[in-house]
Structure 1
Amino acid sequence: MNILKTLQAVFPQPNRQAAKITKIRDDGALEAVTLFGGHSVVLRGSGYAVGASVFYDAKTGRILEAAPDVKVVEIRV
């Protein structure tokens, strides 16, 4: 029995990604651009303004918390 796999099944970890909110839609959803890759995503959450950086669960699209507003630089190796 693998205890780690059992715990991960009971307490699944979110697939945490970062994005910057670009628009608040009429239906309450938030449109955002991912910080890595620049893809558009639709997120669920409230209390965030346009221009705010957030962490979100990539599996569910739910905003987890505010992210620090720092400049992101992607370095290809």
Structure 2
Amino acid sequence: TQLNFDSFLQGGNTMKSLFKNKLIAVTINPLAPNGLMLNTVTLQKALQEALHIPIYDVMELQKNDASLNLRE
């Protein structure tokens, strides 16, 4: 959790990667914990323009998976 990670860092610990990583995609969840639904198209477009990598909406992926399962 974020709380555990923050505690880890506050304890004077650090985290480093031994190898360079290449970010190949980002997933977004437009549904905020407080119930607010963000505009998926706007969010995806802004991130795509800034990062130049594929951006996937997890809620849309779930909808597509569900519709595929109904066809089987």
Structure with greater strand percent: 1
Structure ID, larger Rg: 2
Q: Could you tell me the TM-score, scaled by structure 1's length?
A: 0.27
Q: Could you tell me the TM-score, scaled by structure 2's length?
A: 0.28
